[in-house]
Amino acid sequence: MDVLASLPEKVKQYELFLNDVLKNDLRKVLDGRDILYSEMAEHEQLKSTVEKFQDGSISNENVSTKVDLGCNFYVNAKIPDASMIFIAVGFGFYVELTHAEALKFINTKCDHLQNKIDRLTLDAGKIRADIKIVIEGLRELQGISDIPTKVPQRDICF
């Protein structure tokens, strides 16, 4: 009888663990991965621009551009010599690099970001597996059988 009395309490504990811990962990991991994806996209865009400078598609002299001052407030800017560029390397530091050095740095940075993204993807998969295990445990505790899956049907629209 004591086991049956504590069953609703155990179910509640598992549900709290599922909602408070596992789902929050999954959200944090996925948010972190999204941030890395946006950073990766910025580096790929920079790589494309540097390659255009290097190929000669864009002249290194008298380049006109727009600079974001913050809060999406842009101003026109003219670059007299774009043979050297400044790249943010982290912690508020910028390094002046040639185009070849910049491409090497960007490729290394993209590889590093991809490794981080891959690790976060694996972590998200592990957390999803843990969520499924907890849900399956809750089903067993509550005596709920597997919910039959619906066969998807096509809607024909005329």
pLDDT in tens, 112-141: 999 999 999 999 999 999 999 999 988 888
Neighbours of 127 (CB within 10 A): 20
Residue with the bigger pLDDT between 11 and 154: it is: 11
95 to each of 10, 60, 147, how far by Cα in Å?
A: 56, 18, 58
- Residues paired with 76 in a beta bridge: 66
Which pLDDT score, from 0 to 100, does residue 133 have? 92
Segment 49-71, tens digit of pLDDT: 999 888 887 777 888 889 888 89
Segment 31-53, tens digit of pLDDT: 999 999 999 999 999 999 999 88
Prediction pTM value: 0.77
Query: Of 22, 12, 29, which Cα lies nearest the Cα of 124?
Result: 29
Buried b (16+ CB within 10 A) or exposed e, 102-114: bbebbeebbeebe
Which pLDDT score, from 0 to 100, does residue 1 have? 47
